[in-house]
Amino acid sequence: MGAYVLRRLIQSVVVVIGVTLVSFLALQIGGDPTYLFVSERASLEEIEAARRALGFDRPLHVQYLSFVGDLVRGDFGQSLSYRQPAMGIVLEALPATIELTLFSMLMALSLAIPLGVLAAINRGTAWDGSVTTFAMLGQSIPNFWLGIMMILVFGLYLRWFPISGHVPFLTPLIAGDVGTAFGNLPRTLFHLVLPGLAVGTYSLARNTRLVRSSLLEVLEEDYVRTARSKGLPEKRVLFHHALRNAWLPVVTVIGLEFGFLLGGVVVVETVFSYPGIGRLLFAAINQRDIPLVQAGVILLAGIFIILNLLVDLIYVRLDPRMKLAGGRG
């Protein structure tokens, strides 16, 4: 397993370099970023001076290679807008997004499993129809629209939850300030409810359908029929035999979904004024703050790679039939 992990990590370096190259080129396609860092009244001479100051006067390949060279030394460069180390700014925003992503995933999973099971064991009934309809709606509704509707209903009219903002939990926790972190926790959760629902609804809907279909498939298997014919109680058949095996595809999706959610919360973070990495990168892309975008992209790519690896490892643990390529399982 060690060799497998090492090989995957080496491959991931190539992936990260590829990702930085693509994002670098994508940002350059839009033209010279210098214009976004000068006053609207700047003269051509002032623009030229700013271009030199920002390093955009160098050929593209020199700019990119210089960035990669710095990267190898662990220097992600300075954000052009903030004039501070780019990775530091990204890491500052990461805990908020992790809080949002974890909260929405936990919420989605804690509801998706019972709903999926409910639909599967009541296949063809009104329960099944209701859950399936809900799941289809959940996958169809755009999350920004859902977010705005929730703000109107639960934030403005009912006043149950805050409309926007964020109260940090992980940041003080990481800093070792446990008291502040847990003191903040109720307000953190309170602020997470609406954005968490907006982010997590799609995931909830998808996982509900996944649990339902996976469970339905497993319930048709011979070993389930055998368990039932042995006279085991239906609950034991369901939870001990069927659901355990129905987990496999769900685990795969969950692992990948965390990565997707991390990078995909941009719109919801904007709607709820949530200071996470998605909104930061969205602003950085608009501002063409290349070092900041690169730092964010590298971090997200790294997280995604590690999650993929973890999913593969967990998959092998859950399903003894699977083996790691080139490894001994």
CB of 44 to another protein, least distance (A): 6
Residue 96 to residues 29, 64, 102, 109, 205: CA-CA distances in angstroms? 31, 30, 10, 20, 24
CB of 161 to another protein, least distance (A): 7
* Nearer to another protein (CB atom), residue 159 or residue 235: 159
* Nearer to another protein (CB atom), residue 62 or residue 156: 156
Tell me the angle at which helices 60-72 and 290-318 cross, rounded to the nearest 10 degrees: 50
CB of 121 to another protein, least distance (A): 18
CB of 6 to another protein, least distance (A): 36
* Nearer to another protein (CB atom), residue 242 or residue 267: 267
* Nearer to another protein (CB atom), residue 148 or residue 313: 148
**Which three-class secondary structure string do you get for the chain?**
CHHHHHHHHHHHHHHHHHHHHHHHHHHHHCCCHHHHHCCCCCCHHHHHHHHHHHCCCCCHHHHHHHHHHHHHCCCCCECCCCCCEHHHHHHHHHHHHHHHHHHHHHHHHHHHHHHHHHHHHCCCCHHHHHHHHHHHHHHHCCHHHHHHHHHHHHHHHCCCCCCCCCCCCHHHHHCCCHHHHHHHHHHHHHHHHHHHHHHHHHHHHHHHHHHHHHHHHHHCCHHHHHHHHCCCCHHHHHHHHHHHHHHHHHHHHHHHHHHHHHHCCHHHHHHCCCCCHHHHHHHHHHHCCHHHHHHHHHHHHHHHHHHHHHHHHHHHHHCCCCCCCCCCC
Is-contact 173 145, C-beta < 8 A? no
Q: How far apart are CA 286 and CA 275, in angstroms?
A: 16
* Nearer to another protein (CB atom), residue 148 or residue 318: 148
* Nearer to another protein (CB atom), residue 134 or residue 154: 154
* Nearer to another protein (CB atom), residue 186 or residue 233: 186
CB of 46 to another protein, least distance (A): 5
* Nearer to another protein (CB atom), residue 4 or residue 272: 272
CB of 309 to another protein, least distance (A): 30
CB of 267 to another protein, least distance (A): 9
* Nearer to another protein (CB atom), residue 186 or residue 327: 186
CB of 91 to another protein, least distance (A): 11
CB of 58 to another protein, least distance (A): 15
What residues line the site for another protein (CB under 8 A)? 30-32, 35-47, 50, 53-54, 78, 81-85, 89, 92-93, 148, 151-152, 155-156, 159-166, 168, 186-187, 189-190, 193, 270-273, 275-276, 279-280, 283, 286-288
- What value does the CA radius of gyration of the chain take, rounded to a whole number of Å? 24
